[in-house]
Structure 1
Amino acid sequence: MGAAVRLIPPTTDLDRARRDLDEQGYCIVPGVLSRAEIAALKDRLIEQAAGERARGLAFHDGGAARPNQRVWMLLNKGKVFRDLMLHPMVEALMGHLLGPDFLVSSFTANIAHPGGEPMVLHTDQGYVGFWTPKPVVANIAWMLDDFSDENGGTRLVPGSHLNSAATPRSSAYAPDEPANMPTLEDTVGAAGPAGSILAFDGRIWHGTGANRTDKPRHALLSYHCRPFVRQQENMVLGLDPTIREAERPALLNRLGWATWAGLGRVESPRPGTPLYVSPGAVGALSADGTPQDP
């Protein structure tokens, strides 16, 4: 550790992006979002963040002064966010890392304001407690502003996803740090114009950088997992029922309203009716099939 590291160049070549993910643990793809999409997402995020501050619901972090604002469960907070989870780039990169049946684990935002402190370096699957030869989770950071070293672009330790010796060894939320844990000197700051994405393997060491400019930096963070992993946001409890009733089956399946290898079932391992239509639960019955009190 400690050797100078350089940011790999952005690429629009998806084969190259996938190789970067495999070899470096991250890739940057520019031009994923149009100007109109950036504006719609950023306007909705800024409005939602202001509303949560006004209601006393805002969540702040970023050091002792807590200048950064997080916005949780974006799936409830605008169709523009839900549409983004069906963007073909999600399938192209998350499907590569996690297999075709991956789930959305959480979808949140980070508004990094000036004065925030660098986030403690961590891996997003540190709670697993052991190194895995393939990732079980992975991320996409959607850049709604230009990302730079100066405004706190995500700090990454290239190649650290392949270092089994630098893996947290505890299954707790705050895992034990390995003896050779990387430091900020080992990192490089992600950079790219607004509309780019930063995709990264859940095993890579990383953290939000410090915003040293005089303007906030807006980003969306979609966290994805393999279909057997417990999701970070509880979609069954947290998703607004009116949204669930009206949403597209493709999105609901990606949020976990589908069985996989018999997991997630209510009754039959292969329910005849999709879970987003009816759970198909069978209650207590008498011998002749009449419902009775459980």
Structure 2
Amino acid sequence: MDAEAHIAQVQARGYTIVENAIKPDLVDALNEALARIERERDVRPAGNDFEGRHTVRIYNLLAFGAPFDRVPVHPAVLPIVEGVLDAGCLISSLSSIAIDPGEVAQPIHADDQVIPLDKPHRPLVCNSMWALTDFTEPNGATRLVPGSHLKANPEYGGAYDTIPAEMAKGSVLIWDGALWHGGGANRTDRRRMGVAMNYCAGFIRQQENQQLGLDPAQVRGFSPRLQELIGYGVYRGLIGHIDKQSPQQRLTGRGSFRSIWDR
């Protein structure tokens, strides 16, 4: 299935699954890096109903360097996200979600429901879940309500009919942030491991503050497209400029920018 077909699925039912999108070497590198960070930082569950009492989450993953810088610009995922939002999209957050045995289902929610706009509306958020292990119904595969991206927000904690987004290790689930969903319950004896690579439209605030969360010296080493994705670009020639320069120019001394008014 090509990118246009995946985009059409997101528009029609609110989500799509890109099977076997990520090569095994990157999956292994991500798993190894996450295990090391969790061990070195002694990361523990947050202990609340939303983030989970048996779920380990690590936030702001770009700050840890390779291999996480390969995730936001992945060629099997980013073109679909750009088609759902537009090429001016931004990284909203990059985190890991490890659902351990004994975890209960997460409350059904929409990722954009804190944005005070009536629904339905054009996509403002487009998120993805990278399967670093197999995602199955018993081990906590993400629960979805197909077509719900065209409805008002769900009642938080309400009971809804859902389907599991089952997919093989290396696959990626992509959804409109208005889609009702939640992490599943893990009734197995093994961890369900995923990376949440989340994007937003270039005209709204990012979930994680990328400019303060990442050392500018580190950002200088990123590719130009990754610099743009974390917020060092300018949306449609206007939003985010500094004295008619892009933040990217200020950071690196390279590149060019023309204001929307100068075109």
Unpaired stretches in structure 1, ≥5 consecutive residues = 1-11, 169-176, 280-294
CA-based RMSD of the aligned residues comes to: 2.2
> Do the aligned partners of 1:101 and 1:226 also contact (CA within 8 Å) in 2?
yes
Tell me the equivalent position of 1:220. 195
1:274 and 1:78 mapped to 2: Cα distance?
Answer: 22
SS at match of 1:119: coil
Trace 1:1-294 onto structure 2 (pairs within 5 A): 12-53=1-42, 58-61=44-47, 63=49, 66-129=53-116, 130-163=118-151, 166-167=152-153, 177=155, 183-184=159-160, 186-260=161-235, 261-268=237-244, 270-271=245-246, 274-277=249-252
- The one-letter code sitting in structure 2 at the alignment partner of 1:81 is F
SS at match of 1:16: helix
Q: CA deviation at 1:266?
A: 2.3
Q: CA deviation at 1:92?
A: 1.8
How has the CA–CA distance of structure 1 residues 276 and 246 changed in structure 2, closer, same or farther, with 3 Å as cutoff? same
> Do the aligned partners of 1:69 and 1:111 also contact (CA within 8 Å) in 2?
yes
1:98 and 1:183 mapped to 2: Cα distance?
Answer: 29
2:248 and 2:93 mapped to 1: Cα distance?
Answer: 26
- 1:163-222: CA deviation from partner (whole Å, max 9, x where unpaired): 2xx326xxxxxxxx38xx9624x1111101100000000110001111110001110001
Q: CA deviation at 1:89?
A: 2.2
How has the CA–CA distance of structure 1 residues 13 and 265 changed in structure 2, closer, same or farther, with 3 Å as cutoff? closer
- 1:44-97: CA deviation from partner (whole Å, max 9, x where unpaired): 1111111221xxx54434649811100000001131111121111232210111
2:247 and 2:180 mapped to 1: Cα distance?
Answer: 42
Q: CA deviation at 1:236?
A: 1.0
State TM-score, norm by structure 1.
0.79
SS at match of 2:173: strand
- The one-letter code sitting in structure 2 at the alignment partner of 1:250 is R
SS at match of 2:96: strand
Unpaired stretches in structure 2, ≥5 consecutive residues = 255-263
1:218 and 1:125 mapped to 2: Cα distance?
Answer: 23
Tell me the equivalent position of 2:257. none
> Do the aligned partners of 1:182 and 1:205 also contact (CA within 8 Å) in 2?
no
SS at match of 2:212: helix
1:149 and 1:62 mapped to 2: Cα distance?
Answer: 22
> Do the aligned partners of 2:10 and 2:16 also contact (CA within 8 Å) in 1?
yes
SS at match of 2:123: coil
Give the percent of matched residue pairs that are identical in Structure 1 and Structure 2.
Answer: 32
1:242 and 1:147 mapped to 2: Cα distance?
Answer: 37
1:162 and 1:132 mapped to 2: Cα distance?
Answer: 5
1:48 and 1:241 mapped to 2: Cα distance?
Answer: 21
